[in-house]
Structures are given as C-alpha cells and as structure tokens.
Amino acid sequence: MGPRRLLYLTAHQLTACRWQAGALTEEESFDDSPGGLASFAEYLAQNPKSVFWLLANVSEEGFHLETIPFLRGADRAAIIARKLGQAFFSATLTTAISLGHEKSRRKDERIMLAALTNQELFAPWLSALASAEAALAGIYSLPLLAPLLLRKLGIADERCLLLTIQDQSVRQNYLEKGKLHFSRLTPLNQSSIAGMAQAFSSEAQKMHQYLVSQRLVARKQPITAYLVAHANARAAIESSCADSETLSFAVLDIETCARKCGVRTLPADTRCESVFLDLLMANPPRAQFASDQQRHGYHLWLVRSALQGVGVVALLG
C-alpha cells in the first residue's frame, strides 16, 4: 500500500498528516487563501503515490431522520437518493446511515440522512485533489466517529450525549443504542480550563433542551452527558456541571480514551483532535460523503494495487 495521509479540514485551515507504523505525524497546514491553496497543490504534487482521507469538523452540516420501506439493492439506493435530494436539495456531499429495522411486520428501516452543506468550503480543496488526480479514499465528518469512540470505551447507554473539544469548538453528539442521531458544533469562546468547563455545562444543557423540543428525548427521561477531558480539568468541570433529575454528567479521562483507541502520543490537554484522527485511520467508518467521481483516483489505485498483487503472486509461483 502506498503512503497514507490524512487531511483535517476546519473552517479556517486544512492540516495534512502522515500515517506510518500506526502513528500520525503532522506535516503541513494550509490556510484558506490563494497562497494556502497553492502550497497545498505543491504538497499534493510532492506526494503523488499517497492515498488521502479527508476528515472535516465544521458547523455547516445537516441531519435528518427518515423511515423507509424494507428494501434491498438498487431499490433501496434509489429511495435513499431521493430522500437525500428532498432533505438537502443543493448539497452534493451527502450520506445515509442505517439505524436498524423496526420490529413490526413491515420491518421498515430507520435511516439518518446527513450532509455537509457548505460546498464553498470544500470546493477549492477538492478541486486541488481532483487536479492532482490524487487517490481520495473518502470524505468523513467528525460526528461519524462518535459511535466508534463509544464502542472503544465500552459505553452502551440506551441514550447519551458525547461532548468533546477541538479546534476552538465544542462538538455535541446525541446517540441512541450506540448510533449517531444528531450532532452540532458551537464555538468555544474561552479556551481556559474554566471556559471549557462552563462550555461543557451550558452546551450540554442546550443540547438536551433541543432534543426535548424535537421530541427525540422525553421531557422527564434521564440522560447522561459524557465529557472527554484531561485530568487537570476534571475538578473545574465537575464543579461547573451539576447533575439534575434529567441530565447527569460523567467525565472521561482523555488519556484513558486515547489508550483504548490505540493512540500512541497521548493528548497534553482536553482537545480531542488526535483521538479522532487516529480513530479514522485505524477504523474508517463505512459511511462517508465523497461521490464515486471524487473517489475515481482511489478506485484506480485499488485496481493498480490488485494487479500488482496478482503479478507478485504469479512471480512467486
């Protein structure tokens, strides 16, 4: 396999990392400017044989729950494509995730439709990848990794919140039976430990209120908010996050989370970028946002790799 690289995209910049021997090494960062895009194009030219994974952590995203009939194959794909077009009319970066089948006789399937809605943010980076004929394995968003993180941590709540901090932002995910149902991203106004603690408390409560208003959670139904944080922030977080009858808090040590996820370099603070980046490279989820056309270079790379493998076997034979 050729060199593997990860591109981490936020609202302000793109960071390129190399994945080698199970460890990530940051290589370069590119800001969203003509100069940054030119540097990124040069970076791609210097790494023509690499395979790239793109992970985005942006606020412009949409989630929509749907129920479709029990279908298979092309019929299922066609109805999901139609539902995506109805829910996100102009979005091109879309995906659908199965939430399981209902237990009724019809066995209808529940799905979560998701979209990255700010096409202008992605367009210049994807254009550079296409111009370089780079092998793009997929486009992922950080919320898609939340279920995997919970499985790694052994958390199997019926319903829960998962809150993490990265990129001067607070990511809030709502999961049912280990599957993502909704996510939102809000700015982190103060990056001090006290500011993070207050952000965890206020954003968890706002998220819970929103879920109740949308009838995703019953008004009196207890739910736990899991907060991933460094040990040096635990006292401040526990002081700010007071349990109520319906919302309780549990602080997860980020170093313990990193070890369970196989991260070799432990995080020095509460920011979770390294945990999610390692999760993606070690266990990329099946659901991703790139189209077949955007992954054309990757498909060609797969064909070349298969042919080379056949050639090696024939030579050994």
Q: pLDDT tens across 90-143, in order?
A: 899 999 999 998 887 788 999 999 999 999 999 999 999 999 999 999 999 999
Given a contact cutoff of 8 angstroms between Cβ atoms, the answer to whether 134 and 152 are in contact is no
DSSP 3-state of 204: helix
pLDDT recorded at residue 287: 93
User: What are φ and ψ of residue 12, in 5° steps?
Assistant: -115, -20
Question: Which of these, 173, 119, 177, 123, lies nearest to 146 by C-alpha position?
Answer: 173
**Distances in Å between the alpha carbon of 311 and those of 268, 304, 306, 308?**
46, 10, 9, 5
pLDDT recorded at residue 301: 85
pLDDT recorded at residue 22: 82
pLDDT recorded at residue 102: 85
pLDDT recorded at residue 1: 59
Structure tokens at 61: 């995203």
Look at strands 13-20 and 23-31 and give their pairing.
antiparallel
151-163: b or e for each residue (b if 16 or more CB lie within 10 Å)? ebbebebebbbbb
DSSP 3-state of 72: coil
pLDDT recorded at residue 214: 92
In the chain, which residues have pLDDT < 50?
Answer: none
CA 251 to chain centre: 21
Look at strands 159-166 and 223-229 and give their pairing.
parallel
Q: How far apart are CA 87 and CA 193, in angstroms?
A: 39
